[in-house]
């Protein structure tokens, strides 16, 4: 099993102010890194006996709706959705299942990161509701423990009151 979980973002600045280096860094970690890890895992999963395995890609709420000034992060998370679908299709004949978990705000050790709130579509900042990170772990474990003839293609886990529906 592979859990593709690495991810970074660029500064929350207007797209026209981003440097090529900032854009490239996010693409390298979020998309190219996930591709390279999946590629290596697929080679192993196809060659092992019994063959097969599971890849779980960490998407994001941003795979569905963006935050203001988040072009590199949002673009890569949309791309992860495409990568997930391609791995699912191409992996079927080798008993490789692939799914994606889209995770909302969660409480963890770095809670200081957004003390002032996150930018909203209307230009305001808001401290968003968060869930316990344990719920994310439980969701990943659920996906990972399914037999290879069953798959969660896409799952969204988020705080009930997080502004997702209506965001954007």
Residues with a known catalytic role: 73
Cα-Cα-Cα-Cα torsion 137, 138, 143, 147, nearest 10 degrees, comes to 130
Do residues 141 and 110 lie in contact, with contact meaning Cβ atoms separated by under 8 Å? no
Question: How far is residue 93's CA from residue 51's CA, in Å, rounded to a whole number?
Answer: 10
Helix ranges restricted to H, 28-162: 33-47, 71-91, 133-145
Half-sphere exposure of 106 (CA within 13 A, CB side): 16
From the CB of residue 153, how many other CB atoms can be counted at a distance below 10 Å? 12
Overall residue count recorded for the chain in this entry: 168
3-state secondary structure of 155: strand
């Amino acid at each position: 099993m592979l859990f593709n979980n690495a991810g970074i973002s660029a500064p929350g600045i207007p797209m026209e102010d981003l440097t090529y280096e900032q854009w490239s860094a996010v693409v390298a970690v979020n998309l190219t890194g996930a591709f390279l890890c999946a590629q290596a895992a697929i080679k192993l999963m196809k060659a092992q006996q019994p063959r097969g395995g599971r890849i779980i890609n960490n998407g994001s709420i941003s795979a569905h709706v963006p935050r203001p000034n988040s072009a590199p992060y949002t673009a890569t998370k949309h791309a992860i959705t495409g990568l997930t679908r391609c791995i699912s299709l191409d992996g079927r004949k080798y008993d490789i299942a692939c799914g994606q978990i889209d995770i909302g705000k969660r409480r963890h050790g770095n809670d200081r990161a957004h003390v002032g709130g996150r930018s909203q579509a209307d230009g305001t900042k808001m401290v968003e509701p968060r869930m316990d990170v344990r719920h994310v772990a439980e969701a990943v474990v659920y996906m990972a423990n399914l037999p290879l003839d069953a798959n969660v293609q896409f799952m969204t886990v988020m705080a009930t009151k997080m502004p997702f529906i209506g965001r954007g």
